Each structure stands twice: as structure tokens, then as C-alpha cells.
């Protein structure tokens, strides 16, 4: 304990304050009284430690909380079973509610509505959100340089290399992409969809042909895709024209989907107004009875794929001081054949 000095707190990211319980009256015994005061004073550091208290913060009364104002001010309170009354005095941003140790018979007897387990669903925010200065939020990217002599001649090959990097990095849904469309009046809209295939012919995704994006594409076939791989400090923007894939291709992909996803595609008249979730659920249940697991589900006519044929690529790599790498691929004609010109754009 004697080696536990205030200056050492500057090197701690999170301090789990779970010392032995010191009694109901909140009067800690030595040497804990000195340690508590050091923690209280740690809030004055330039980078104070984040304090997590378990059950009852040291120095608090079990019912009245921090009576004299000299106790620990935890950033998070962990209540392993039911919160003590002193939890009402807790003003930190997070309160982690346990309940997983309460025997089911007790929970049933007293009609306890315990939070679900596991994970962050048991952590509830109390009080007001901390003020955030949005204008000060920024990242200073650190990445390997992406130079012209490193770029592949064919943008499809370059995309494949970066996509494989995103998969290898185990990013969540690396095939997620923002699809932007516009109607005949130029009114834009964007949404996230999942890439389901790509090759030299273009980039493919599947959707409902009655959706807003489908309506936009029927009036204006020009669209753009944006992939953003945060952990790699990379994004890829692709522009082009969109056409429907063949019915055979849509049919083949539809029947490769999980049983539930096939039913969901039939149930959802995408982008139409529905009276409530119960309407979708009831239709889904009825289809489950009609098409049990293992049965052949016919693909609806209003569902299928689109392919964007690219005419423009931009590969972006985040760099320090906002001096990002931006390499643009534009088509050009070389001896009657299509090739790609690579240019650097100012960040």
C-alpha cells in the first residue's frame, strides 16, 4: 500500500475500486482511508484514472451515500445483484446492473424485472449525457503511405487487395457499403447495403425492386458506392451506372440465403408504410407455417440483384495532419482498348 502514490495514477487507464467492505457507516479504516483520499485527489490530475466502484463506493454510507463529500467519485458503479440505496446518490455516467446471481425462484416470487445478460445491455446510463464538443472531435491518422507506384494498374485488382486486407483484419461486415442514388429531379438518398459479389463486370447487391433505391435507379441509373474500413484508415469510392442482374443470377443467390432471410424478403414490402411490427411478425409466422425449414421457397418477382458497372474509382488512405492519400482511377482509351489513368488528388 505504501507504494501506491498519487503520481502512479497517471499511468492507469481504469482503476477497479473493489476493496474489502468497510462497514455500513462509510468510515474506512487505515490504510484504506489514505488510499481513498488519494483517489479523490486524483480527479485533479491532467489525465485522471477512470474509477469503477463495485457495490458501495468506499467512503460512502450504505444508504445515504457520500455524506460529507469526501468519498470516491466513481465514473461507474457496478451493482452485482440489487443496487444499494446509496446508488440513488450516484452521479457518474454509467451504472452496471447485475442480477445474474439472483435465483430464478426469488426473481419470480418478487416479480423482479432483471436486466438481460450478457454484455452492455446491463449497463444503463443515468442522468444527463456529458457535454460533447463535436467541433473538437478528430483523429490524427497514422498509416503507411499509398503511392502511385504501389497502386495496381487495374482498380478491380486494387479493390480486391484492400478488400482482402479488411477481411483479414476481421472487421465487422467489411462488405458493408453506402449506396447513394438520386431520382430524376436529382434528390439524393443513401443507405447501407451489403456487397454480394464483384469482378471485372462490376459490383453486385440484392434488394426489393419496389424500394426507394430501386425507384431512383429506374429513373436515374447513375449511383455511387462507398466502402469505409475504419480500423485500416481506408475508404473506397466507386461511381458508375446500374443495371439489374439476370433473373437466373437472382434466383441462384436467393436460394443460397438462410431460410429466415428468404421468408423476410417475401414479408417485407420494402419502403412501404406498415401499421406496426406486429404486422410483419404475423406475416412471417404465416409464411413459416406455409414454408417449413427445408421446403423450396419461390423467389418473389419484386426481389433481385443490381450490378454497378464502374466508371470511376477513388482510393483514400488516412494520413497525419489531414494530408491523406487520394488516388483516382479514370478510364482512358489506349489503342482502342480501355485502360485506367491514375491521378493523385489533393486531400
Write the pLDDT tens digit of every residue in 324-335.
999 999 999 988
Is there a contact between 178 and 190 (Cβ–Cβ < 8 Å)? yes
Is there a contact between 244 and 304 (Cβ–Cβ < 8 Å)? yes
Per-residue pLDDT tens over the stretch 273-295: 999 999 999 999 999 999 999 99
Asked whether residue 90 carries a pLDDT value surpassing 90, the answer given is no
Per-residue pLDDT tens over the stretch 37-53: 776 676 666 667 778 88
| Highest mean pLDDT out of 97-106, 119-128, 257-266 | 257-266
Active site residues: 322
Asked whether residue 12 carries a pLDDT value surpassing 80, the answer given is no
3-state secondary structure of 322: helix
Please name which of 165, 191, 207 lies closest in space to residue 307, comparing C-alpha atoms. 207
The CATH number assigned to the domain with range 148-255+299-344 reads 2.30.110.10
Q: According to the model, what pLDDT value does residue 101 have?
A: 52
Block residue for cell numbers 499511468? 11
Question: The whole model's pTM is what?
Answer: 0.67
**Residues 6 or more apart whose Cβ sits within 8 Å of residue 94:** 75, 76, 77, 123, 124, 125, 126
Per-residue pLDDT tens over the stretch 174-210: 999 999 999 999 999 999 999 999 999 999 999 999 9
Dihedral sign for Cα 220, 221, 223, 225, please: positive
Q: According to the model, what pLDDT value does residue 7 have?
A: 44
The pLDDT confidence band at residue 26, using thresholds 50, 70 and 90, is low
Name the least confident of 56-70, 122-136, 253-267: 122-136
Answer whether CATH 3.40.50.10260 is correct for domain 6-135.
yes
- Strand-pairing partners, residue 340, are 331
Grid coordinates belonging to 323? 494530408
| Residue ranges matching CATH 3.40.50.10260 in the chain | 6-135
Please name which of 225, 250, 220, 254 lies closest in space to residue 237, comparing C-alpha atoms. 225
Q: According to the model, what pLDDT value does residue 138 have?
A: 87
Q: Are strands 234-244 and 303-317 parallel, antiparallel or unpaired?
A: antiparallel
Distance CA 178, CA 97 (A): 36
Q: According to the model, what pLDDT value does residue 106 have?
A: 65
Q: According to the model, what pLDDT value does residue 6 have?
A: 41
Beta strands in 73-141 (DSSP E): 76-79, 94-97, 123-125
Distance CA 245, CA 29 (A): 74
For residues 19-41, average pLDDT: 61
Asked whether residue 122 carries a pLDDT value surpassing 60, the answer given is no
The pLDDT confidence band at residue 5, using thresholds 50, 70 and 90, is very low
**CA separation, residue 201 to residues 231, 244, 311, 341 (Å):** 28, 13, 11, 18
Q: According to the model, what pLDDT value does residue 59 have?
A: 77
Asked whether residue 154 carries a pLDDT value surpassing 50, the answer given is yes
Name the least confident of 61-75, 233-247, 259-273: 61-75
| Highest mean pLDDT out of 85-89, 218-222, 271-275 | 218-222
For residues 127-147, average pLDDT: 84
Is there a contact between 227 and 235 (Cβ–Cβ < 8 Å)? yes
The pLDDT confidence band at residue 149, using thresholds 50, 70 and 90, is very high
Please name which of 268, 266, 263, 272 lies closest in space to residue 280, comparing C-alpha atoms. 268
Burial letters for 202-239: b for 16+ Cβ neighbours within 10 Å, e otherwise? bbbbbbbbebbbbbbbeebeebbbbbebeebbbbbbbb
Better-predicted residue by pLDDT, 242 or 108: 242
Determine the length of the chain. Answer: 347
- Strand-pairing partners, residue 305, are 206
3-state secondary structure of 24: coil
How many other CB atoms are there within 10 angstroms of residue 326's CB atom?
A: 17
Name the least confident of 12-16, 225-229, 308-312: 12-16
| Residue ranges matching CATH 2.30.110.10 in the chain | 148-255+299-344
Beta strands in the chain (DSSP E): 14-17, 50-54, 76-79, 94-97, 123-125, 176-182, 188-194, 197-199, 202-208, 222-229, 234-244, 303-317, 325-334, 337-344
Grid coordinates belonging to 267? 414479408
Distance CA 123, CA 98 (A): 9
Asked whether residue 10 carries a pLDDT value surpassing 60, the answer given is no
Distance CA 91, CA 73 (A): 8
3-state secondary structure of 307: strand
Amino acid at each position: 500500500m505504501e507504494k501506491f502514490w498519487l503520481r502512479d495514477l497517471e499511468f492507469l487507464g481504469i482503476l477497479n475500486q473493489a476493496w474489502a467492505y468497510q462497514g455500513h457507516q462509510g468510515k474506512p479504516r487505515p490504510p484504506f482511508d489514505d488510499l481513498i483520499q488519494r483517489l479523490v485527489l486524483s480527479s485533479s490530475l491532467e489525465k485522471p484514472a477512470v474509477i469503477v466502484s463495485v457495490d458501495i463506493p468506499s467512503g460512502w454510507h450504505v444508504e445515504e451515500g457520500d455524506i460529507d463529500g469526501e468519498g470516491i467519485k466513481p465514473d461507474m458503479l457496478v451493482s452485482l445483484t440489487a443496487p444499494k440505496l446509496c446508488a440513488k446518490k450516484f452521479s457518474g455516467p454509467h451504472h452496471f446492473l447485475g442480477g445474474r446471481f439472483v435465483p430464478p425462484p426469488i426473481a419470480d416470487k418478487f416479480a423482479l424485472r432483471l436486466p438481460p445478460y450478457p454484455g452492455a445491455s446491463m449497463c444503463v446510463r443515468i442522468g444527463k449525457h456529458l457535454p460533447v464538443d463535436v467541433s473538437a472531435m478528430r483523429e490524427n491518422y497514422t498509416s503507411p503511405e499509398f503511392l502511385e507506384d504501389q497502386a495496381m494498374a487495374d482498380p478491380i485488382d486494387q479493390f480486391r487487395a484492400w478488400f482482402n486486407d479488411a477481411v483479414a483484419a476481421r472487421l465487422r461486415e467489411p462488405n458493408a457499403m453506402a449506396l447513394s442514388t438520386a431520382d430524376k429531379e436529382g434528390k439524393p438518398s443513401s443507405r447501407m447495403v451489403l456487397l454480394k459479389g464483384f469482378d471485372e463486370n462490376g459490383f453486385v447487391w440484392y434488394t426489393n425492386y419496389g424500394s426507394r433505391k430501386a425507384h431512383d435507379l429506374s429513373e436515374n441509373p447513375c449511383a455511387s458506392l462507398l466502402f469505409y474500413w475504419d480500423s485500416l484508415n481506408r475508404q473506397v469510392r466507386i461511381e458508375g451506372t446500374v443495371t439489374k442482374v439476370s433473373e437466373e443470377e437472382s434466383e441462384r443467390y436467393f436460394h443460397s440465403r438462410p431460410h429466415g432471410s428468404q421468408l423476410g424478403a417475401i414479408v417485407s414490402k420494402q419502403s412501404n408504410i406498415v401499421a406496426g411490427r406486429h404486422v410483419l411478425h404475423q406475416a412471417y409466422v404465416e409464411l413459416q407455417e406455409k414454408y417449413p425449414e427445408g421446403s423450396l421457397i419461390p423467389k418473389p418477382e419484386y426481389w433481385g440483384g443490381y450490378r454497378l458497372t464502374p466508371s470511376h474509382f477513388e482510393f483514400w488512405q488516412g494520413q497525419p495532419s489531414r494530408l491523406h492519400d487520394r488516388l483516382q482511377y479514370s478510364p482512358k482509351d489506349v489503342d482502342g482498348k480501355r485502360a485506367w489513368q491514375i491521378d493523385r488528388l489533393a486531400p
